Amino acid sequence: MSGDPLAALRAATRARVALGRAGDALPTADLLELRAAHAAARDAVHLPLDVDAVTAQARELGVEVLHATSLARDRAEYLTRPDLGRRLADDDLPAGAYDVVLVLADGLSPLALQTHGVPMLREVLARLDGWRVAPVVVATQARVALGDEITAAVGARSVVVLVGERPGMSSTDSLGIYFTFDARRGRRDSERNCLSNIRPPHGTGYAAAATTLVMLMAEARRLGLSGVALKADPALPANVEV
């Protein structure tokens, strides 16, 4: 048996628990690790997305890729003006008639999209038989609601936004997925379904997330809605947001 009774607890979580004390402060090693994690989280927010690399990787999946950006002119404006991150700078995207558009958005962690975006995209595309899928859109300085305007611009009914989530002290590369049925400008967050913490091996895996997402999409199309009224698991009570 370990001499440290909290060793099992520490091994079961990436959270910082039972760090100990050195006088009235943290032990030096833990304090330095905490500061390094804080710096990594800040770096993840400001790291620019390598649009060319993500585009090239997505095209290897055999899809057409378009580019879009929000009205936020740079990262500083994006962080201080969330409203601009929800508006398209130019809505002159090729339009068609599609069931869904998939958006790869940098969000608050471009690192997350750079790391997990295309692998997640691959799993989603593999499960979309019977869906008319628009060209993939890589969006920069993007908030989730930017997907609503992209949906209207390309002529789609629904949108799936793969977006970098706000970095935390133990997670700098967490990817989120937001699905909105009948997407259009002015949709509320309660009208979206969210799958979060996609970051194998420490979070949800790509295949599991894609399976849940496509099930939600199919139910949304059948019922004509998304958001808090749409359940991800029949065992859940009604109006549980995913």
The DSSP H or E segment spanning 179 is: strand 175-180
Residue 136, annotated as binding a ligand:
no
Cβ-count burial 123-141 (b if 16+ within 10 Å, e if not) = bbbeebeebebbbbbbbbb
Over range 183-212, report the average pLDDT. 94
pLDDT grade, residue 232 (50/70/90)?
Answer: low
DSSP state of 151: H
| 21-66: pLDDT as tens digits | 777 788 887 777 778 877 887 878 889 999 999 999 999 999 999 9
Share of the chain above pLDDT 70, in %: 94
Domains and CATH numbers, the chain: 52-223 (3.40.50.11240)
Predicted model pTM: 0.86
Residue 194, annotated as binding a ligand:
yes
CA–CA dist 99, 175 (Å, integer)? 23
| 141-180: pLDDT as tens digits | 999 999 999 999 999 999 999 999 998 877 899 999 999 9
| 87-111: pLDDT as tens digits | 999 888 999 999 999 999 999 999 9
Residue 65, annotated as binding a ligand:
no
pLDDT grade, residue 242 (50/70/90)?
Answer: very low
